[in-house]
Amino acid sequence: MGAGTVHCMPSLPTVRTILRVHGIGRRFAGVAALDGIDAEIRAGEVLAIVGENGAGKSTLLKILSGVLPPSTGSLEAIDDHGRPHELRWRSVAEAAQAGIAFVHQEPSLADHLDLAGAILLGREHHRLGWLNTRSMRVEAARWLARVGLDLDPSTLCGSLSIAQRQLVEIAKALSANARILILDEPTSSLGDREIERLLAMLDELRRSGVAIVYVSHHLDEVLSIADRAIVLRDGRIAGTIDRASMDRATLERLMVGRDLAQTALRPSLDDAPARLVVDRVISAHRQRHPNSLTVKRGEIVGLAGLVGSGRTRLLEAIAGLGHAGGSITLDGRALGTTIAQRVASGVAIVPEDRARHGLFTPDPVSTNISMAWLPRGAHAGVIDRAGERDLVAGMITRLRLRPANPARRVQTLSGGNQQKTMLGRWLSIEPSVLLLDEPTRGVDVGARHDLHEAIRAAATAGCAVLFASSDLEEVLALADRILVMHDGAIVGEFTRAQATELAIMSLATGGALEAAR
């Protein structure tokens, strides 16, 4: 990381506000993604926006850059003479006119254009329609130098690395007279050296009076470059911190919000008996490698790996969806082959795609929760309706489902509450094996904490938990043991103590186990 490598202090004596945000809010299908946001963006300042997944960062960025209109509130641009102009925010073009430029995470430049063409796209130098290539290249060279790129303006964009593309995108924004530069996770696909250079370049831009809005998951970067940080939580501003009082602990506390109850220490699993034993299982999707794994009673095992590494297929094969070979035993007994038989013996799967594979959407929360429990609570096929009501009410309380209304249609719930409904469906059968695919994707921080707690509680009660997640923080936070998949096969194993994000990533991308450790 580039932490500490860029030394910088707010250097401008006069801080001038160039964009004011008043009470911005945004709702999607009745759910507030953003609520009552007030902020000032100042020239010559790096404003960091931090927050957990789902805190509303991307919604705020979209509103700032004119992609989404806000539901409530207003934005005011202040020009060089100190006069405010209200922005109607009907288009990205209006945002660009106000000097706001958005630099995407993974810039999409037209591959066939040369750098001069890409930077001056839409503002080409021409005479009666004939391009003046030479003068374009001269101007482009100037902007390239500004962002510290030593490239010939006639280079084709297709040959650039992602880091270079990002800088070209910034050059493009600067050439269009951008006064506010919005960067969304600019370092997510960069190496350490590239990050250092990017941060140094941003520092340079700040000194020249450009306002920079910087969104990142990496607090190290934020601490090293930001003059101020806005912390978003559940769509609201949890706090605005100046450089003087900014430290990692404060940011983290604000991001997570409530003092999340410290997780009880996980019990020792040394003596726990094996519960789920998967022996050389092959999934039906022409998976090449047979995979074997064991999950102990009460253990939480995380499956890490890149998208497409075979985590979902392995989980589905264990659940009885497309299991093509190898044996699976639960407490020493072989499992049946169909998913219906496996569910009956206590295997539960919470699929990755809630809408397609999980929820019965016109239906209320109650029937969605009770669906798997029904056969257990039925006498000769007749549903125990009083039992069903009690079960649903209990599950809503236990998982802190909001709103706590069993008749609420499930599609009107937030992602977190939908995920709680899915988990509730399976917790209600007190499963022996709980398989979860991306257990907290698209879920806000509070719900994520509740879901993790419920998963830990299930494990403590003796359930064998196996989950797959692309979110390494989640894997490290939740798993007792971590298995890494690459290209359809389990390629390595870490205990919680051994594992680091770096080591897991290295294995997941095909590195060797020894090197990773």
**In the complex, which residues of this chain contact another protein (CB under 8 A)?**
27, 29-30, 71, 319, 321, 338-340, 342-344, 349, 351, 356-363, 367, 371-372, 374-375, 378, 381-383, 385, 412, 425
Through-space distance between the first and last CA atoms of the chain, rounded to whole angstroms: 19
User: For residue 376, what are the contacts with CB-CB under 8 A and spacing of at least 6?
Assistant: 429
Residue nearer to another protein on the CB measure, 97 or 412: 412
For the CB of residue 378, give the shortest distance to another protein in the complex, in Å: 5
Question: Regarding beta strands 17-28 and 31-42, do their DSSP bridges make them parallel or antiparallel, or are they unpaired?
Answer: antiparallel
Structure-token match 């971590």, residue found? 482
For the CB of residue 291, give the shortest distance to another protein in the complex, in Å: 21
Quote the DSSP letter at residue 402: S
Report DSSP letters for 164-185, one per residue.
HHHHHHHHHHHHTT-SEEEEES
For the CB of residue 57, give the shortest distance to another protein in the complex, in Å: 22
Structure-token match 């969806």, residue found? 321
- Rounded Cα gap, residues 392 and 389, in angstroms: 5
Residue nearer to another protein on the CB measure, 384 or 471: 384
Residue nearer to another protein on the CB measure, 29 or 93: 29
For the CB of residue 411, give the shortest distance to another protein in the complex, in Å: 11
Name the amino acid, one letter, at 493: E
Residue nearer to another protein on the CB measure, 156 or 371: 371
User: For residue 392, what are the contacts with CB-CB under 8 A and spacing of at least 6?
Assistant: 365, 366, 369, 370, 406
For the CB of residue 434, give the shortest distance to another protein in the complex, in Å: 13
Residue nearer to another protein on the CB measure, 30 or 129: 30
Residue nearer to another protein on the CB measure, 340 or 512: 340
Residue nearer to another protein on the CB measure, 361 or 495: 361
Residue 125 class from Cβ within 10 Å (0-12 exposed, 13-18 middle, 19+ buried)?
Answer: middle
For the CB of residue 443, give the shortest distance to another protein in the complex, in Å: 18
- Rounded Cα gap, residues 232 and 4, in angstroms: 24
- Rounded Cα gap, residues 452 and 449, in angstroms: 5
For the CB of residue 489, give the shortest distance to another protein in the complex, in Å: 25
Residue nearer to another protein on the CB measure, 2 or 235: 235
For the CB of residue 374, give the shortest distance to another protein in the complex, in Å: 5
Quote the DSSP letter at residue 358: I
Cα dihedral 146, 208, 85, 227 sign? positive
C-beta of residue 322 within 8 angstroms of C-beta of residue 313: yes
